[in-house]
Amino acid sequence: MPKDSGIGASPKRREDVRFLSGTGNYTDDIQVTGQAYVHFLRSDVAHAKINGLNLDAASAMPGVVKIFTGADFEGVGGIPCGWQVTDRHGEPMQEPAHPVLAQGKVRYVGDQIAAVVAETLEQARDAAEAIEVDLEELPAVVDMKAALAEGATKVHDDLTSNLCYDWGFVEENKPAVDAAFEAAAHVTTLELRNNRLVANPMEPRVAIGDFNRATGESTLYTTSQNPHVIRLLMGAFVLGIPEHKLRVVAPDVGGGFGTKIFHYAEEAFCTFAAKALNRPVKWTSTRSEAFISDAHGRDHVTKIELALDADNNFTALRTDTYANMGAYLSTFAPSVPTWLHGTLMAGNYKTPLIYVNVKAVFTNTVPVDAYRGAGRPEATYQLERVIDKAARELGVDPIALRRQNFITEFPYATPVAVEYDTGDYHGTMDALEKMADLSGFEARRKESEARGKLRGFGVNCYIEACGIAPSNLVGQLGARAGLYESATVRVNATGGIVVMTGSHSHGQGHETSFPQVIAEMIGIDESMVEIEHGDTANTPMGMGTYGSRSIAVGGSAMVRATEKIIAKAKKIAAHLMEAAEADIELKDGAFSVAGTDKSVAWGDVTLAAYVPHNYPLEDIEPGLEETAFYDPANFTYPSGAYACEVEVDPDTGKVTIEAFNAADDFGNIINPMIVDGQVHGGIGQGIGQALLENAAYDENGQLLSASYMDYAMPRASDVPFYGVDHSSQTPCTHNPLGVKGCGEAGAIGSPPAVVNAVVDALRSGGHDIHHIDMPVSPSRVWQAMNG
């Protein structure tokens, strides 16, 4: 019988009511009295020297308040990078300056040359057109390998080359890995590209800066997944505003998927300009602007090799990746191809020896950073593709080969520096085989063949590291921030509760799922608990939402704070009932004395805390409010097995997804409905990456797919209903809820399943192909069959 409240129930989402009735409060819905509008003049060439800017005509245009250029930002800090990677030789990565507005040079199509502030947006746009820009075009560096060639044009003149870092992991293992390859019975090699993507949350980014002369306080309203992180980075590194004078508000945010983690120049600009002009300044990105200014994702070029012994056991793995950083280092860019990618290369398998090399490269393209999964999809894709290829080369069943090499004992220390606490990889695979009706596949294939179509089945396993992360560990790895989360639980006199969390919901449903946890802990109705998030002025310090960390880290902080509340409430209850504190039990919203029929209700205790007439004032303070900071002891390790079934039309090369099934192990689950939704959304994006999406540049650094006319977003008719199962649950051992996180799984687990299925379909038609790069578009499939 499914529960109807508390942990494990699926109450309807309370936030839906405002979203469904048009009363959400997204950043662009905010109008600050007296606001001016900014339009950014962006470079339309990929690489050029700015020889001069003539603002005369533009400044005289109607409504123009002021035009800012790089010169106005001399002495202001640049946009900081939040993660420093140390290379194979122990040297720090090359880290270029990243000015708020271009200084002397533009480095990608979209780089901000000037910012026009005017009374209306139209006036700002009109005036931007009147700015005379004298650009001296330079050769654009687009291809990563060409960027590293001897004599290549440098993106940053003051760096020694376009190489950001050359990272080896684990460097000491390299000789042993190489030796294992020498000794291998079979080696499978695969070269592939993890295609560049644009995250495309449906809400474009918005920033509104405001300044209050009377208090000297700056406020930034922004579409962010982590307002406190923006306050930290922008306040401390860019504008020099102390935290108590800077408030960052991220109200309802229309999707993030990683690209709204980062601190962007537009945020710093609006905050800076609001103070300089003493009036609010608002920027709303257009979708076209988003394509050339939101950080992109993925874009790895990889060669992976898998060594097997004569019994088909994996003996070693070696991968070589070029990772595109774009023109500047976005907030967490350096960590994505390294710590979020290399540490995942063991996957679900007990491969004893692994070596990962990553070269991060600067190019004249939009900066690249985390996109849903961030590093983990790139790891999973190459690993699961090479395993599939190995199975086909060896003539063994791809599922059997995976099962044979599964890790089955936990905790398991991988050769890539992480320790999986729990998992049941056979369990998720069993669930998958059942759900996907694997035994019926041959009949379905025959049926497709009878209609002249090729049918394929592809499977994929994934492991991810979520709940980012132990601060002391990430500090050693180069993070320039801690990665805890905090929560304040405020209990009111009448027993209602407000939780202020540093986590942020931009679709994940915190306002519904977080109260379920507290309701369960205290035994009160969920409607008595309210969640506040997204405003640094009334929430404690937080690190925000990304890396599937909200419930695992933010939820744990809330549990810890609630435990403190319960401990104090028990003291009060003990006093009220004249009993020993150790005898007090809390159940169904009432405190009772063990072994007696004495009890006081939750509301009586909370009232006593605020009306302390009969209260142990000598022992404890009045009031009932607690804060906790939770710093996780380890990552969490969700895992799963996914299967995709496709049909390929051999005449056109068109791939249709016939079925998609996902069996995940997320540990304990708070709200199954929300978890299913997260998986659905991730699969939708993964199918998008596999079949449709590609941020393509031409050799001059022009983004060819820079609008929804050219960048193929998945639509309702591109995807089927998905099968989702999370009956396999191995709880996390080191957080109080036993939860693992579910936000990215779908996007990590699905692309390899799709490509494996397409390859399987084509091979069933007699085509001897092993790989097609994503997106597996009709033209690529047709060429593979006919080329």
Partner 1 sequence: MSQVTMTVNGKEMSGDAEGRTLLSQFLRETLGLTGTHVGCDTSQCGACVVHVDGVAVKSCTMLAMEAEGASVDTIEGQAAQDGTLNALQQAFQDHHGLQCGFCTPGMIMSAADLLKSNPNPTEAEVRHHLEGNICRCTGYHNIVKAIMAASGQDVSSIAAE
The residues of the shown chain that bind partner 1, judged by CB under 8 A, are 10, 12-13, 15-24, 26, 28-29, 31, 122, 200-204, 252-255, 257, 286-288, 506-509, 672-674, 676-677, 680-685, 687, 707-709, 713-717, 719, 721-725, 746
Q: CB of residue 203 vs ligand FES: minimum separation in angstroms?
A: 8
Nearer of residues 493 and 719 to partner 1, judged by Cβ = 719
User: Residues near 299 by Cβ (< 8 Å), separated by ≥ 6?
Assistant: 194, 195, 196, 197, 323, 324, 368, 695
Nearer of residues 145 and 715 to partner 1, judged by Cβ = 715
The interface with ligand FES within residues 174-193 (CB under 6 A) comprises: none
Sign of the alpha-carbon torsion through 612, 616, 617, 619 = negative
Q: CB of residue 438 vs partner 1: minimum separation in angstroms?
A: 17
Binding mask 506-535 for ligand FES (x = CB under 6 A): -x----------------------------
Query: 136 to each of 273, 314, 680, 700, 735, how far by Cα in Å?
Result: 28, 53, 47, 14, 56
- Residue 437, number of CB atoms within 10 A of its CB: 15
Nearer of residues 717 and 786 to partner 1, judged by Cβ = 717
Nearer of residues 204 and 337 to partner 1, judged by Cβ = 204
Q: CB of residue 719 vs partner 1: minimum separation in angstroms?
A: 6
Q: CB of residue 222 vs ligand FES: minimum separation in angstroms?
A: 18
Residue 265 interacts with, from partner 1, ligand FES, none (CB under 5-8 Å by kind): none
Nearer of residues 15 and 664 to ligand FES, judged by Cβ = 15
Residue 508 interacts with, from ligand FES, partner 1, none (CB under 5-8 Å by kind): partner 1
Query: 447 to each of 307, 454, 455, 647, 719, how far by Cα in Å?
Result: 37, 10, 9, 11, 21
- Residue 145, number of CB atoms within 10 A of its CB: 11
Query: Residue 444 is encoded by which pair of tokens?
Result: 């379905």
Q: For the chain, state the CA radius of gyration.
A: 27
Give residue 452's identity as a one-letter amino acid code: G
Residue 288 interacts with, from ligand FES, partner 1, none (CB under 5-8 Å by kind): partner 1
Query: Residue 301 is encoded by which pair of tokens?
Result: 């070029």
Q: CB of residue 495 vs partner 1: minimum separation in angstroms?
A: 26
Residue 186 interacts with, from partner 1, ligand FES, none (CB under 5-8 Å by kind): none
Q: Taking phi first (over 0 means left), then psi (-120 to 50 degrees means alpha), and beta for anything else, what does residue 679 get?
A: alpha
256 binds ligand FES (CB under 6 A): no
Q: CB of residue 690 vs partner 1: minimum separation in angstroms?
A: 13
Give residue 703's identity as a one-letter amino acid code: L
Residue 458 φ/ψ, nearest 5 degrees: -130, 140
Nearer of residues 405 and 548 to partner 1, judged by Cβ = 548
The interface with ligand FES within residues 257-296 (CB under 6 A) comprises: none
Nearer of residues 73 and 257 to partner 1, judged by Cβ = 257
The interface with ligand FES within residues 646-675 (CB under 6 A) comprises: none
Nearer of residues 22 and 595 to partner 1, judged by Cβ = 22
Nearer of residues 13 and 156 to ligand FES, judged by Cβ = 13
Nearer of residues 481 and 657 to partner 1, judged by Cβ = 657
Asked if 663 and 435 touch (Cβ cutoff 8 Å), the reply is yes
Q: Taking phi first (over 0 means left), then psi (-120 to 50 degrees means alpha), and beta for anything else, what does residue 677 get?
A: alpha
- For residues 435, 440, 446 and 448, what is the CA-based torsion angle, rounded to 10 degrees? -20
Nearer of residues 310 and 709 to partner 1, judged by Cβ = 709
Nearer of residues 414 and 728 to partner 1, judged by Cβ = 728
The interface with ligand FES within residues 362-381 (CB under 6 A) comprises: none
Q: CB of residue 13 vs ligand FES: minimum separation in angstroms?
A: 11
Among 1, 202, 310, 582, binds ligand FES (CB under 6 A): 202
475 binds ligand FES (CB under 6 A): no
255 binds ligand FES (CB under 6 A): yes
Q: Taking phi first (over 0 means left), then psi (-120 to 50 degrees means alpha), and beta for anything else, what does residue 555 get?
A: alpha
Residue 480 φ/ψ, nearest 5 degrees: -100, 25
Query: Residue 749 is encoded by which pair of tokens?
Result: 């687990």
Calpha distance 691→751 (Å, rounded):
8
Q: CB of residue 709 vs ligand FES: minimum separation in angstroms?
A: 12
> Quick one: DSSP state of residue 415?
T
Q: CB of residue 200 vs partner 1: minimum separation in angstroms?
A: 6
Q: CB of residue 787 vs partner 1: minimum separation in angstroms?
A: 31
Q: CB of residue 316 vs ligand FES: minimum separation in angstroms?
A: 42
SS3 of 158-170: CCCCCEEEEEEEC
- Residue 108, number of CB atoms within 10 A of its CB: 26
Cα end-to-end span (Å), the chain: 56
Minimal CB distance to ligand FES: which residue?
202
Nearer of residues 288 and 312 to ligand FES, judged by Cβ = 288
Residue 782 interacts with, from partner 1, ligand FES, none (CB under 5-8 Å by kind): none
Sign of the alpha-carbon torsion through 512, 516, 518, 523 = positive
SS3 of 668-715: CCCCHHHHHHHHHHHHHHHHHHHHHCCCCECCCCCECCCCCCCCCCCC
| Size of site (CB under 6 A) for ligand FES | 3
Burial class (CB in 10 A: 0-12, 13-18, 19+), 637: buried
Q: CB of residue 365 vs ligand FES: minimum separation in angstroms?
A: 25
Q: CB of residue 254 vs ligand FES: minimum separation in angstroms?
A: 6
The footprint of ligand FES (CB under 6 A) covers: 202, 255, 507
